Structure 1
Amino acid sequence: MTSPHAGVHRAVEAYYTGKVEKYGATALGVDWPSTPSLQLRLVKLLKVVDFAQGTSLNDLGCGWGAALDLIELRHRAARIDYSGIDLSAAMIEQARRKWGQRARTAFSVGHQCDRMAHYSIASGIFNVKLDATRQAWEAAVQATLQNLNACSSNGFAVNFMLPVDDADAVPQLYRTEPDPWVAFCRQQLRRAVEIIEDYGQNEFTLLVR
């Protein structure tokens, strides 16, 4: 069945395919300015995961697998069954090239998680709305949060960009205060929510358990 948000997904797929084809498996390849700031946001997202025991992790919008770089650096001893999903086949090709020999690691092209895992993360996938209306974009975000909720037994984590002054606003980016999405996760998904803010980037992270 075709997703009701297929038009939104096609535009985002084309945008990120262009980035990774130009810049490869780098921070710029996932449209982020630097590796340290990319890793910082992943550090915050991965706070939702209990690495003390074997666990499974969905990484929605995985790109070329930047989260695995951080996991290998900080949680090398952890036993993690990892599934990366991305809209862009070019991203998934880069991910398989980089991580294809890693045990308990799989990648697929898609717009949603397709298996139950202990945890899921989604890094930056709600930021670049391009020409989608705010209403259409928020409907797609809601559908994605519902999918993350359905596929995460112990919890999931997402991030959003915070608003800026109108003079600095870029129409193609989606920015929001935390309150609407905290309320959605609490009221519609029936989950507890922890907000992480003030970590040096103009965004916030939600840990949803």
Structure 2
Amino acid sequence: MNKVHQNINKYYTDKINQYGVTPKGVDWNSEESQFIRFDQLSKVITCTGFSINDIGCGYGKYTDYLESKFKDFSYVGYDLSEDMIISAQKKYPHYKFIKTNIQDEIQVSDYSIASGIFSVKMQHLEYEWLSYILSTLENLNNKSKKGFSFNMLTKYSDKEYMRNDLYYADPLFIFDYCKRNFSKDIALLHDYNLYEFTVIVRKAY
């Protein structure tokens, strides 16, 4: 496990141990904001009977959303934190959760989503964190047949609320990177009243 993954693992393991199976346990403010994010990320889904990877699944809350919106799907959640995976398995025993930081252990599915995994850069330098983001996006692309989606904090956040330990991305750069490297069919969603944006990558199939 590289240094970035080690630090992410510790950060979120500490959160789930401190707050338990709650939104704060995965570093979100509320269940309402979790579901707003799930709504945006799920716009990548355009078919029924799909398979989906949840990268950075936390304790598996996204499965509640999927069950409320879709009838036929197969789900696998992946996380760096063993404590997160244990919590997910206890709460949602009928779904599959895997602890891994190795790309080869992630199965190819129709879709992949990643919620919140790019936000907390901790002590890492900007270029280190961007390198982690771009390599992770490459992995998302490789493991997704029909498309993938992810969210990031936006550099258009109010300055007085921005924190040094968080990463605020340039949505135009990220859009351009995805357009040039992954697909011609890209959507940038920046209109849902949170200090973040979601990118939808749909692939030809």
**Is 1:194 the equivalent of 2:187?**
yes
Q: Aligned residue for 2:76?
A: 83
**1:68-122 Cα shifts (integer Å, max 9, x gaps):** 01112232xx22111100011000000000111x2xx311112346111000000
Instruction: Give the counterpart of 2:54 among 41, 55, 59.
Output: 59
Q: Aligned residue for 1:127?
A: 119
Q: Aligned residue for 2:96?
A: 106
**Helix, strand or coil for the counterpart of 1:149?**
helix
Q: Aligned residue for 1:139?
A: 131
Q: Which runs of 4+ in 1 moved over 3 A?
A: none
Structure 1 residue 165: Cα displacement: 4.1
Computed over aligned residues only, the root mean square deviation of the Cα atoms, in angstroms, reads 1.4
**Helix, strand or coil for the counterpart of 2:53?**
strand
Q: Aligned residue for 1:44?
A: 40
Distance 1:118 1:67 in 2: 16
Distance 1:10 1:159 in 2: 21
Q: Which ranges in structure 1 are unaligned for 5 or more consecutive residues?
A: none
Distance 1:208 1:58 in 2: 14
**Helix, strand or coil for the counterpart of 1:187?**
helix
8 Å CA contact 2:183, 2:201 repeated in 1: no
**Helix, strand or coil for the counterpart of 2:169?**
coil
**Is 1:74 the equivalent of 2:74?**
no
Across the two proteins, how many residue pairs are aligned to each other? 199
Structure 1 residue 138: Cα displacement: 0.4
TM-score calculated relative to the size of structure 2: 0.93
Q: Aligned residue for 1:115?
A: 107
8 Å CA contact 1:185, 1:192 repeated in 2: no
Distance 1:53 1:41 in 2: 20
Structural mapping, 1:28-39, within 5 Å: 28-39=24-35
- Of 166-175 and 57-66, deviating more is 166-175
